[in-house]
Copies of this chain bind each other. A is one copy, B any other.
């Protein structure tokens, strides 16, 4: 009906049993070179392609993985995706990509969907779900790696950037350069990373004996337009700012535009610092000073960790902490 060639077709045509074909296809068990040859020929001639889903049903292994990110069009995540996919491809896995667009409901949706697909493992990036919901949604997956997010007492692998350190580095850098009024565009309130960066900012402020003020912090969407808009309002309401930390490079680029809008020169009127060091950061004008993290490698390591856990790996909690690094360009100090 479907016209699809099945293993049975091959077996009949090659005059062997199903198992023999199966063995040839999977390179398992000893097979006489002659029959193996014959089977391979028939496979080739008939254009047979094994069905991964039938195999999956029989073996309880689908050969598929899931990658969930807030937004694939954000270079931060597309770089991670490259790393993840690279490793997955090398290991023979196919990966489902899902973007959540910062929408928790959509996140639970795609997670449920991936569970139904019976993926062998999941890389979940920067989850916006609260601990309780996350725990519930993750229960059905055989192997999990979380990036930039952790979950206490759960056997998941974790790989994350030390964003608290990043926040400190960036803040100290500005403070050391003599800045006195450092504002922070903190990104989405649901972002764990954002909170960590703010924590680092607080810590640095405190260590320097400077007071902190809620008026100096403002949430914003994590993209250029949102950053631009937020920065415009923020700068108008806080004319005393000499420096601005931004949730990520996209927001920082938005802030750069806001400065143009408002007639402020960067960095002389306002210093701007981003986070992530996406390629883009070096291409804008002025080139962005930013607190960088290795995204591609993060993706690669996340996938390696996942593969480990899939075959044989203990379900133990395990954590890799990646160090951020300040990249000084022209937008600050």
Determine whether A30 belongs to the interface, using a CB cutoff of 8 Å to chain B.
no
- In the complex, the count of this chain's copies comes to 2
Pick the interface stretch among A12-20, A77-85, A127-135, A194-202: A77-85
Do A72 and B81 touch (CB < 8 A)?
Answer: yes
Known: A79-B73, A85-B72, A284-B284. A53 touches B50 (CB 8 A): no
Residue contacts A-B, CB under 8 angstroms, 30 given: A2-B60, A51-B57, A53-B53, A53-B57, A53-B117, A53-B118, A54-B57, A57-B57, A64-B117, A67-B97, A72-B72, A72-B78, A72-B81, A72-B82, A73-B79, A75-B75, A78-B78, A82-B99, A85-B97, A85-B98, A89-B98, A89-B106, A94-B96, A94-B117, A95-B97, A224-B283, A253-B283, A280-B280, A283-B283, A284-B284
Determine whether A140 belongs to the interface, using a CB cutoff of 8 Å to chain B.
yes
Inter-chain CA distance A71–B109, complex, in Å, is: 27
Known: A73-B82, A285-B284. A279 touches B49 (CB 8 A): no
Determine whether A208 belongs to the interface, using a CB cutoff of 8 Å to chain B.
no
Inter-chain CA distance A47–B97, complex, in Å, is: 24
Whose C-beta in chain B lies nearest to the C-beta of A2? B60
Inter-chain CA distance A75–B81, complex, in Å, is: 13
Chain B min CB distance to A169 (Å): 25
Do A81 and B73 touch (CB < 8 A)?
Answer: yes
Contacting residues of chain A (268-323) with chain B, CB-CB under 8 angstroms: 279-280, 283-285
Interface size on A, residues (CB 8 A): 51
Known: A53-B53, A72-B85, A139-B47. A279 touches B97 (CB 8 A): no
Contact with B along A98-117 (1 / 0, CB 8 A): 11000000100110111111
Chain B min CB distance to A272 (Å): 14
Chain B min CB distance to A266 (Å): 12
Whose C-beta in chain B lies nearest to the C-beta of A85? B99
Q: Which residues of B contact A64 (CB under 8 A)?
A: 96, 117
Determine whether A56 belongs to the interface, using a CB cutoff of 8 Å to chain B.
yes
Determine whether A262 belongs to the interface, using a CB cutoff of 8 Å to chain B.
no
Determine whether A242 belongs to the interface, using a CB cutoff of 8 Å to chain B.
no
Q: Which residues of B contact A52 (CB under 8 A)?
A: 116-118
Do B283 and A116 touch (CB < 8 A)?
Answer: no
The listed residue (B53, B75, B115, B284) touching A49 by CB distance below 8 A is: B115
Q: Which residues of B contact A82 (CB under 8 A)?
A: 71-73, 99
The listed residue (B96, B113, B139, B285) touching A96 by CB distance below 8 A is: B96
9 additional A-B residue pairs with CB within 8 Å, beyond A54-B57, A95-B96: A53-B57, A64-B96, A67-B97, A72-B81, A73-B81, A94-B113, A95-B97, A97-B97, A283-B284
Determine whether A62 belongs to the interface, using a CB cutoff of 8 Å to chain B.
yes
Inter-chain CA distance A62–B140, complex, in Å, is: 20
The listed residue (B94, B106, B112) touching A98 by CB distance below 8 A is: B94
